[in-house]
Amino acid sequence: MIGAPHDDALARLRAMQAADLPVHGGRTLAYVYDSGLPDIDRIGREAVAAYAGSNGLDPTAFPSLLQMENDLVGFAADLLDAPDTCVGTVTSGGTESVLLAVQGARDSRPDLARPRMVLPTTAHAAFHKAAHYFGVEAVLVPVGPDFRADPAAMAAAIDEDPDRTVLVAASAPSYAHGVVDPVTQVAAVAAARGIRCHVDACIGGWVLPYAARLGRSVPAWTFAVEGVTSISVDLHKYGYAPKGTSVLLHRTAGLRRPQYFASAAWPGYTMLNSTLQSTKSGGPLAGAWAVVQSLGDTGYELLSRETFEAVDAIVAGLADIPALSLAAAPDSTLVAIATDAGCDAFTVCDEMAARGWYVQPQMSYAGQPPTIHLSVSAATNAHVDDFLTALADSVAAAQESGPVSVDPGIAEFIGALDPATLSDEDFDGLLAAAGLVGGDAAGLDLPERMAEVNAMLDLASPAMREALLVAFLDRLARPVRQRTPERVALDAAKATTESSE
Ligand SMILES: *Cc1c(COP(=O)(O)O)cnc(C)c1O
C-alpha cells in the first residue's frame, strides 16, 4: 500500500465521526431520517459504494444509471398521481430540485428582463437561494394565522404584475410549521393566469401519500390538483435513502425542456446536463434506487405508520407539559413546538442535547416567537416515552434557569446594526462577543450551549443574522496546512527546480 496503512484513514474517520450527531437511533430530529431498519441502511450504503465511481454525466456511457433514474421518477410519478405525460429528473437534493424549478420557470420566459415569483413567507429558503442565483425576484406573501398560504393574497400579489410572474409556489408541508398549503386554491390562481405552480413537497412528498392510505386526512396537493405543474420530493428525507437525492417532476416534457443545458461552444465533448452538476457520482442514485426497490409501497406504508404513531404520541404527550404547545397541528411528520414566556425555547434545545436528543431551534420570524422543530422519523417511535420524559425534564430545567438574558445595551446595539456597514474586524469582534469563535477567530471550538448565542442571533434583524452566520462560517472554513516531512522535501525540490531555471 501507498502511504499510511490502508485502514488507518478509515479508523481515523470513525474516530472523527464520533463527534457528529448520530444518524441512527431516532434521537436526531432534524437533518437525518432513520428508518430504524439496519438492512435497509446496509443495502443503501452498499449501493452507494458500488456506484461511487460511476459518472452520471453521460447516460449513454452508464446506461444503468439512466435505468435507475427512470425507475425512480416512475415510482415518484405513481406516488404523486402524475398523468402519463409526466417526466422528471433525479437531483442531488431538495435545494437543487427547487433551484431547477425556478430556473426552468425563468428560462421558459426569455423575453422577461425582470422575472418574479410569488411565494408564501413560509416557503423554504431554497427559493431565496434560487432568487439570488437566477435573478428572479421573490415576492413574499404573508400566510394566514394558521401558517398556511393565503390564496387570495397570492392572487393579489400576482396581479400586481402578472406578466412578469413566472412561478407560484406552495409547500406540502412547510418545513417550519409542518402544515400543507391550500394547493388546490393556489394552483387554481396560477392556472387561471397561465403561470407555473411548483409544489415543494421535498419533505412531505414521500410520506403524505402513505398518510392518506393510512386514513389520515390530507388536503389535496399532488398532480391530482389541476394547475400543479411541478413537484419536488426528496428521497434523502422520508424516502430513507442515503444523502444526495431528490426528484423533480414536471407535468409535461415541455415544462421540463428549459431545465436542460447543452453547450457545444468549446472543443471538448458537447456538455449536456439536466441538473446543476455535470460529472456526478452514481452513488446517491444507486443508493436511493436500492432503498426504494427494497422498501416498495409496503415498506413505506409500514414506516409511515410507525412515524405517524410517533407524531400522534408526541402531540398527545405535549398536552401534559403546560409550558409547551403546538405552533400548528401537524399535517405531516413535522412538529413545531412553541414555549410559554417562562420557558426559553433555545434553552430547551440545549437541555435536550444534554439528554442525547437533537431538536432544532427556529428563530423568531415576522412577529412569531421562536419554536422548536422536530422531523419525526420511523425510528423515533420506539423511544417516544423516553423523548417525552427528556422533554419534560428539559422544560423543567429551562424554567429553573429562567429566560436567557441578553444585556439590554447589547440587544439594542445588535438590533440597530446594519451589516452592510460592518468591516471584517467588526464581525470578528461580534462573533467573539457572541461566543461563536474565540478572540483569534480560529479553530473549531464550537460552544457547547447555544442558547445564549441563539438568543443574541434572535435579536438581530434577518439581514444581520445572515451576515453574522456567514462571517461565522467563513471563520470556520479555513484550510488545515500540513508540514509533513514529505511536504517539506517537495517544497525544497520545487525551490531547487525554480532556481535552476
Ligand atoms: C429539506 C427541504 C428543502 C431543501 O432540501 P435539501 O435537501 O436540504 O437541499 C426544500 N424544501 C423543503 C420543504 C424542505 O423540507
pTM of the model: 0.95
- pLDDT tops 50 at residue 441: no
Question: Helices 451-459 and 345-354, interaxial angle, to 10°?
Answer: 160
User: Position of cell 463527534?
Assistant: 19
Closest CA to 100 of 263, 356, 273: 273
Q: Which of 95, 221, 248 to mutate to test the pocket of ligand 1 (most atoms within 8 A of CB)?
A: 95
Grid cell 423523548 — which residue? 387
Q: How far apart are CA 440 and CA 107, in angstroms?
A: 46
Q: Alpha helices, DSSP H only, in 402-450?
A: 408-416, 424-433
Spacing, Cα 55 to ligand 1 middle (Å)? 24
Q: Which of 138-147, 442-451, 455-464 has the lowest mean pLDDT?
A: 442-451
Measured CA angle at 151 (ends 145, 156), to 5 deg: 110
pLDDT in tens, 299-322: 999 999 999 999 999 999 999 999
Q: Reduce the DSSP state of residue 449 to 3 states and report it.
A: coil
Nine-digit cell at 164? Answer: 412578469
Q: Report the alpha-carbon distance of residue 295 to residue 275 in Å, rounded.
A: 27
Please give the Cα distance from 378 to 309 (Å, whole number). 9
Peptide bond into 330 cis (omega under 30): no
- Cα-to-centroid distance, 94 and ligand 1 (Å): 4
94 lines ligand 1 (CB under 6 A): yes
pLDDT tens, 181-231?
999 999 999 999 999 999 999 999 999 999 999 999 999 999 999 999 999
Residue in 101, 34, 62 with CA at minimum distance from that of residue 285 = 62
Task: Encode pLDDT of 356-398 as tens digits.
Answer: 999 999 999 988 999 999 999 999 999 999 999 999 999 999 9
Q: Where are the domains of the chain?
A: 43-294, 408-476
DSSP 8-state assignment for residue 242 = P
Evaluate whether 200 touches 232 at the Cβ level (below 8 Å): yes
Q: In angstroms, rounded to a whole number, what is the distance separating the alpha carbons of residues 110 and 395?
A: 54
* pLDDT of amino acid 231: 99
Q: How many CB atoms lie within 10 A of CB 489?
A: 10
CA distances from 188 to 34, 43, 155, 170 (A): 36, 42, 10, 12
Mean pLDDT within 262-287: 97
Per-residue pLDDT tens for 43-75? 999 999 999 999 999 999 999 999 999 999 999
Residue 87: band (very low, low, confident or very high) from pLDDT cuts 50, 70, 90: very high
Rounded distance from Cα 237 to ligand 1 centre (Å): 9
Q: Over the range 126-147, which residues count as b (16 or more CB within 10 Å of their CB) and which as e?
A: bbeebbeebebebbbbebeeeb
Question: For the chain, what is the radius of gyration of the CA atoms?
Answer: 24
Which option is the CATH number for 43-294: 3.10.129.10, 3.30.200.20, 3.30.1300.10, 3.40.640.10?
Answer: 3.40.640.10
Question: Please, are residues 158 and 193 in contact by the beta-carbon 8 Å criterion?
Answer: yes
Q: Burial code of 40-51, b = ≥16 C-beta within 10 A, e = fewer?
A: bbebbeebbeeb
Q: Are 171 and 154 in contact (CB under 8 A)?
A: no
pLDDT tens figures, 132-165: 999 999 999 999 999 999 999 999 999 999 999 9
Q: Percent of the chain having pLDDT more than 90?
A: 81
How far does the centroid of ligand 1 lie from the alpha carbon of residue 196, in Å? Answer: 20
Mutate to test the pocket of ligand 1, among 129, 202, 373 (most ligand atoms within 8 A of CB): 202
Instruction: Tell me if 156 sits within 8 A of 127, measured CB to CB.
Output: no
483 has a pLDDT exceeding 90:
no
Place of cell 402519463: 84
171 in contact with ligand 1, CB cutoff 6 A: yes
Indicate whether residue 175 lines ligand 1 (CB < 6 A).
yes
Q: Could you tell me which of 449, 438, 459, 463 has the C-alpha nearest to residue 394?
A: 449
